[in-house]
Amino acid sequence: MAAEVITIGSEILAGHTCESNFAVIAAAMAREGVKLERHTVVPDERGALAEELRRALERSEIVIATGGLGATPDDITRRSVATVLNRKLVYRDELLAEIRAKLRARDTAASPTIETMALLPGGATPLANSVGLAPGFLIRTEKALLFALPGVPEEMSAMLEQQVLPVLREAGHAGRSVSETLHLAGISESVLAEQITPLLAEGVRAAYLPVPGRVDLRLSAAGDEKGRRHLQETITRLQPRLGPRLYGAGAVTLEEAVLQQLRQRHLTLAAAESLTGGLVGGALVRVPGASDAFLGDIVAYSNAAKQRLLGVPEETLRRYGAVSAPVAIAMAAGARRALGASVGIATTGIAGPSGGGGEKPVGLVFFGLSDAAGSRAFRYLFAGGRRLIQDRSVTVACDLLRLHLIGRLDLVARHEEKLVGPGDPRFDAEEEEGGWRGE
């Protein structure tokens, strides 16, 4: 079943607006097993739209157009569809009544311009707009289903879920495949592909979405009984193989996984950040209810602040520098102490573009992890610019926490910085409550 999307919007081609509708449609189609074969953005010009519609209706069985349904002269979808399909535009009384009622509810006067929204090509089925004013429509041609949806993202999304997907399912076009997304951290796309390819059951396809430091693995299969069984078998076979690299399935994020692990264990978290300057905390608080387990975050750039707020000893800063394993550990322990949390996580590093050099290049980041049992530090060297280094640091901070909580820090042992123990005079002055693991 070939499907395609046409976005109508000069403002997108002119670089004024980011097209966000397509990603929403693509995700819904993937979920429903509809294969999208093309996406085209055309300007608000009847000639260009008509040309593209004509071609789309020849080559695809499902065509979803978004935009161009408003009431300004730019809004050309109704007219272009009528032209291409050689139909007249007719005022639909029931739509006119609905539009007037919605306007009254907003205390806005109706106008002949706004009422052009009630014009539909002959034979079209209206699609209700539960969010905004302009109705969409559906036309069934001999070969294809053509959906015209509004361009406003909230209106488009609602109409897609409430009107388009039910029609596709009823026509047997949607719901014909099943899929599940597995989320992994600390593994590269290519290593993952090597590991799992031999384990996929017949007819199960794997797709990889790499994000800095993470991979989302989508497994899909036909929507029939056999496909469902094979998908389930594959997941059951993969889970032990992926082990602790797998942090969740479905819509879960790494931050949600961390917060859930904390809650399950009745633990609380505090962070101390330097190069990430609040980004770790910011990622965690995107999750509703984060404050249950995440007590707070201390961003301390200057050495003075590291000493005063986090209790990092001056001697440690002087001897090892702010970007070092001992400072990362002292920061994590300090955040834990200052906020009275069970676990502390810390980041200190060089995000660049300046500030790096010699033994401490741009991209060098130390992570500190501290709980009642002791503290550990991990050393990473990231490639990329400032933003990418910060993003990867946030991901690694969350993943280190997760691995710590499930007792699998052995997976990142190669990153661990071996430090001397508490009996060593270099550290005795630091009043670290937990012991130092290491040599």
Nearer to a second copy, 243 or 353 (CB): 353
Query: With b meaning 16 or more CB within 10 Å and e meaning fewer, what string describes 24-54?
Result: ebeebbbbbbbebeebbbbbbeeebbbebbe
Q: Rounded to the nearest whole angstrom, what is the least distance from the CB of residue 51 to a second copy in the complex?
A: 9
Nearer to a second copy, 300 or 317 (CB): 300
Q: Rounded to the nearest whole angstrom, what is the least distance from the CB of residue 436 to a second copy in the complex?
A: 26
Which residues face 372 on adjacent strands?
A: none
Residue owning tokens 């693991």 = 437
Q: Count of CB atoms within 10 A of residue 160's CB? A: 22
Task: Tally the residues of the chain.
Answer: 439
Of 419, 415, 303, the C-alpha closest to 367 is 415
Nearer to a second copy, 106 or 423 (CB): 106
Q: Rounded to the nearest whole angstrom, what is the least distance from the CB of residue 141 to a second copy in the complex?
A: 22
How far CA 132 is from CA of 81, 99, 128, 251, in Å, comes to 21, 10, 9, 28
Let me know the angle formed at the C-alpha of 31 by 29 and 35, rounded to the nearest 5 degrees.
40
Q: Distance (Å, rounded) from C-alpha 199 to C-alpha 194?
A: 10
Nearer to a second copy, 316 or 390 (CB): 390
Nearer to a second copy, 56 or 412 (CB): 56
Q: Are 120 and 111 in contact (CB under 8 A)?
A: no
Q: Rounded to the nearest whole angstrom, what is the least distance from the CB of residue 279 to a second copy in the complex?
A: 4
Q: Are 95 and 101 in contact (CB under 8 A)?
A: no
Q: How many Cα atoms are found within 13 Å in the side-chain-facing hemisphere of 19?
A: 22
Q: Rounded to the nearest whole angstrom, what is the least distance from the CB of residue 130 to a second copy in the complex?
A: 12
Report which residue type is found at 226: K
Which tokens in the block code for residue 290?
């984060």
Nearer to a second copy, 135 or 352 (CB): 352
How far CA 430 is from CA of 270, 316, 420, 421, 437, in Å, comes to 20, 8, 13, 12, 15
Nearer to a second copy, 275 or 396 (CB): 275
Q: Rounded to the nearest whole angstrom, what is the least distance from the CB of residue 274 to a second copy in the complex?
A: 8
Nearer to a second copy, 216 or 417 (CB): 216
Q: Rounded to the nearest whole angstrom, what is the least distance from the CB of residue 214 to a second copy in the complex?
A: 13
Q: Rounded to the nearest whole angstrom, what is the least distance from the CB of residue 233 to a second copy in the complex?
A: 22
Q: Rounded to the nearest whole angstrom, what is the least distance from the CB of residue 39 to a second copy in the complex?
A: 4
Q: Distance (Å, rounded) from C-alpha 427 to C-alpha 420?
A: 8
Cα-Cα-Cα-Cα dihedral sign, residues 354, 333, 400, 317:
positive
Nearer to a second copy, 53 or 351 (CB): 351
Q: Rounded to the nearest whole angstrom, what is the least distance from the CB of residue 90 to a second copy in the complex?
A: 29
Nearer to a second copy, 177 or 427 (CB): 177
Q: Count of CB atoms within 10 A of residue 284's CB? A: 27
Q: Are 351 and 391 in contact (CB under 8 A)?
A: no
Nearer to a second copy, 124 or 280 (CB): 280
How far CA 67 is from CA of 11, 133, 243, in Å, comes to 11, 13, 45
Q: Rounded to the nearest whole angstrom, what is the least distance from the CB of residue 86 to a second copy in the complex?
A: 24
